[in-house]
Structures are given as structure tokens and as C-alpha cells.
Amino acid sequence: MKDKSKIVVVGGGFAGLEFVKTLSNVEEYDITLIDSNNYNFFPPLLYQVSTGFMEPSAISYPFRKILRGMKNVHFRLGSLEKVVPNENKVVLDNGILDYDILVIATGTETNFFGNKSIEAYSLPMKTISDALSLRNVVFTRLDKATRIEDKKERKKLLTFVIAGAGPTGVELSGILSEMRMHILQKDYPELTDDDLGEIYLLDGQDSVLAAMSEKAQQYTLDKLSKLNVKVVLNTLVTDFKDGVVHLSDDTNIESENLIWAAGVSARVFEGFDQSSYGAGKRLKTNEFNLVDGHQNIYALGDSALLTNDKNYANGHPQIAQPAIQQGENLAKNLKLAPNLWKPFKYTNKGSLAIIGRNKAVMDSPNHIFFVKGFLAWLIWIFVHIMGLVNFKNKLRTFYNWIGYYIYKDQYFRMIIKPSDKK
């Protein structure tokens, strides 16, 4: 009997997990899924975890439970450090594995554009750990503000600057503003209206939600202004230290809280030639997601730069759908004889962003039509609930959101810091 082909998949996000699910129970393959976390999570709802509106377990799920029943799939907790292509091996932080086929689906990490001070003191929003850390910092500082007499220092603790006006920045500024309106004065009676600080949303481009239609951008600007969010465009954050955010127009904002949602870049691993990486440090691939210069290494999702899809000559947007669709396409191809493989072609399903309660925007594919307000908000809720990985999380999130809709409040504002014990 012929040995099974060994597939090693690194990264169990949207792309890696879709790949594994589509190829599960195909007898000719033995699949190992490696991830540095023991859970899959849903990044679009991180901002709700970071502000105490959702609990982390509602948007995450353990891999070993997801993979139950997939007889040919094994899970390995570990972080990829190096690839050795001429020996078909991957070096992890806790061992070495060999493969016949390697799939890199490790997504992106926060890009601080080389600014060490921003990296050290700002609050990123990329992982569940980031979201929990942001939650701890925000609620620790709110409490600290109640004990501070100096009004200027108090305001610095209560002013939030969000860098990056993509969907994450817009969502965060909206939810922080709603928190300021509906929760802060109830929970922190020591603070007066004057104390509550400002919320700034900054971007180097000339619009919010740069990838969306002009109508969506305009509606978002209007709603953010009604929520008292100060939107500052065509302006970059140049530095952040000693409680001051420095801007490219030589002004600055006094704030202890810089939330960094301004950029990502793909993860780089030792073992690939520099020439394998393209824009955003993504691995360059052909139309089948095969990494340039390799015979048996594929890259998927945010890690991949596939430029021969006709409408996406600069690569696909780094969002969930291209990752899911690439994972599925590669898995389906691996079930076929090589001459029957289908090149990847992205189906754009449109884009959505939420600004706050009852306020969202939706662009249809190719911006043919635009939906806003309550209807877009309902669509946003439906799409995000469907995107969660299992039924229990969908139900919990739905229940949670009904609670928020009725009471304009949620209660996951606990400051929980892990102890150092290993």
C-alpha cells in the first residue's frame, strides 16, 4: 500500500482551517495543522473583546475540538521558525516536522513601520492577547482617572487616539464613543462630563474606510461626527512618548492611549529566499497558490501574493473571504489530477463595516449598490454571526447582542491579569 502524503499546514486562521476542513477525511493525505495558539479565533470581533462587550471565548474555539472526527488531521501546538525546503522540513519552536506538501497560512502581524517607541507604548489590535491587554489597560486607566486630581492628567487618561481609519479603527472609535455615552458616567460617577476626554480617529489617507465607496465613507464620517469622534485625515502618527501623540502636521495630542490599527505585514520566515517575498512581505505565488521557485510549498490568505487573478493584479485584499476561498480552492485541487487543477479566482462578496448601534455600511460587489443604517447593521450582525466557527458561539453572540441592543450595555469589563506562574 502506498504511504499517505504528509501535508503540513502552518496557521489555522480562515485560510488554513478552510483548507483542512475541505481536505479532511480524504484518505490519501495525512494532515498536521500547526498553530502557535491552541484555538482558532475570529478577528472581526476583536474590538468588542477589547472594550468589554464580548468575552474572548465567544469568538474563539479550541482546535482539538474543531478537528474531532477528522480522522486524517492532527493538531500540533507550536510556532514555525524556519523552513528547510531542500530537506522538506519545518523547524518549530518545539521540534521539527517533515512534509511532502507545505502550506503557509500564517496571516499577518502588526506593522509599526519601524517606530520603536510606537511599538513599545501603543496598543495593537491583532490577537486575542492584544484585545485582552487593551481591555485591561483601558479599564485600569479609567479607574486610575477617578483617583487623579489634576484635570489635565485625568483627561490624558480618558482621551483615546486610534491610528488607522479602516474598519477596525472605525469600529473601535464608534464603540468607545458609545461606551462614553452610555456606560462611563454610570460606572464611574466620580467623572464629570468635562473629564470624559476625546476620541480621535487618524489616518494618513484622505478618507475613512479607504476601500469602500464614497457614499459609505461619507455616511461613516457623518455618523462618527454625531458620535463626537474627531476624525483627522491626511495625517500620520510620527511618534508616541510620555503621553503625547506626535502628528505629521507638527501638532500633537495629549493622550496616554494610542491604539494602533494602522497597518499589518505578513510574517517572514527564515528559509525562504528574499526574492520570494513581494509587497507587504507576502509570499509570491502562481495562480494555484504555489510559492514562486518551489514545487511543494503553497501560501494562502494574507500570507500570499497572487497577482495573476485578472481583477487583482496587486494581490487580493487582506480580508477573510480571499483567505477562505483560497483555502478551499487549493484543497479541492489537491483532490484532483494535476492537469485538472483550477486557478484561483476571487469572488468578491462585498464589504461591510459597523460604526455603532443601528449604524453600518455595506457595499455590494463592485460598488453597484450601497446599504446603510439599520438594514446594513442587521446584515452586519447576520454575516458576523454566521462567520463564527460553531453553533454555541453563534447563539451566545446573538444573545449578547440582543442584550446590548436593549440595555446599551455589556459587562465584560473585568481587569484580569494572568499570574506569572508557569
| 238 phi/psi in degrees, rounded to 5 | -105, -25
Q: Is-contact 282 72, C-beta < 8 A? A: no
In the shown chain, the binding pattern of residues 232 to 261 toward ligand FAD, with x for contact by CB under 6 A and - for none, equals: ------------------------------
**Shortest distance, CB of residue 358 to ligand FAD, whole angstroms?**
18
**Shortest distance, CB of residue 192 to ligand FAD, whole angstroms?**
32
Which residues on neighbouring strands pair with residue 290, listed in sequence order? 298
Closer CB to ligand FAD, 18 or 178, in the complex? 18
Q: E strand or H helix at 343, and its extent?
A: none
**Shortest distance, CB of residue 265 to ligand FAD, whole angstroms?**
12
Rounded Cα–Cα distance for residues 58 and 311 (Å): 36
Check residue 323 for interaction with ligand FAD (CB under 6 A): yes
**Shortest distance, CB of residue 178 to ligand FAD, whole angstroms?**
18
Q: Minimal CB distance to ligand FAD: which residue?
A: 13
Closer CB to ligand FAD, 320 or 362, in the complex? 320
Closer CB to ligand FAD, 319 or 389, in the complex? 319
Which residues on neighbouring strands pair with residue 89, listed in sequence order? 84, 98
Positions in 33-72 near ligand FAD (CB under 6 A): 34-37, 43-44, 46
Which region among 240-248, 295-303, 332-340, 370-378 touches ligand FAD (by CB under 6 A)?
295-303
Rounded Cα–Cα distance for residues 321 and 222 (Å): 28
- Residue 389, all three cell numbers: 466557527
In the shown chain, the binding pattern of residues 296 to 315 toward ligand FAD, with x for contact by CB under 6 A and - for none, equals: -----xxx------------
Please pick, from the candidates 8, 9, 12, 20, the single residue that binds ligand FAD as defined by CB under 6 A.
Answer: 12
Check residue 14 for interaction with ligand FAD (CB under 6 A): yes
**Shortest distance, CB of residue 12 to ligand FAD, whole angstroms?**
5
Number of residues that bind ligand FAD (CB under 6 A): 32
Amino acid at position 214, single letter: E
**251 exposure class (CB count in 10 Å sphere: 0-12, 13-18, 19+):** exposed
Please pick, from the candidates 7, 9, 13, 104, the single residue that binds ligand FAD as defined by CB under 6 A.
Answer: 13
**Cβ neighbours of residue 295 closer than 8 Å, sequence gap 6 or more:** none
Amino acid at position 176, single letter: L
- Residue 139, all three cell numbers: 479599564
Rounded Cα–Cα distance for residues 263 and 109 (Å): 9
**Shortest distance, CB of residue 122 to ligand FAD, whole angstroms?**
14
Closer CB to ligand FAD, 15 or 183, in the complex? 15
- At CA 131, angle to CA 407 and CA 316, rounded to 5? 105
**Shortest distance, CB of residue 356 to ligand FAD, whole angstroms?**
15
Check residue 267 for interaction with ligand FAD (CB under 6 A): yes
Check residue 80 for interaction with ligand FAD (CB under 6 A): yes
How many residues would you count in the chain?
Answer: 422
In the shown chain, the binding pattern of residues 133 to 172 toward ligand FAD, with x for contact by CB under 6 A and - for none, equals: ----------------------------------xx----
| 178 phi/psi in degrees, rounded to 5 | -65, -35
**Shortest distance, CB of residue 322 to ligand FAD, whole angstroms?**
7
Closer CB to ligand FAD, 155 or 401, in the complex? 401
Rounded Cα–Cα distance for residues 139 and 129 (Å): 15
**Shortest distance, CB of residue 255 to ligand FAD, whole angstroms?**
20
**Cβ neighbours of residue 33 closer than 8 Å, sequence gap 6 or more:** 9, 12, 16, 17, 20, 63, 67, 73, 74, 75, 76
Which region among 94-102, 189-197, 244-252, 317-325 touches ligand FAD (by CB under 6 A)?
317-325
DSSP annotation of 180: I
Smallest CA-to-CA distance from 31 within 95, 76, 62, 85 is with 76
State how far the alpha carbon of 393 is from the alpha carbons of 60, 150, 358, 372, in Å: 8, 44, 22, 26
Closer CB to ligand FAD, 142 or 323, in the complex? 323
Concatenating the DSSP letter of every residue in 132-146 gives HHHHHHHHHHHHHHH
Positions in 352-411 near ligand FAD (CB under 6 A): none
Please report, as ranges, the residues that interact with ligand FAD according to CB under 6 A: 10-16, 34-37, 43-44, 46, 79-80, 105-107, 125-126, 167-168, 267, 301-303, 318-321, 323
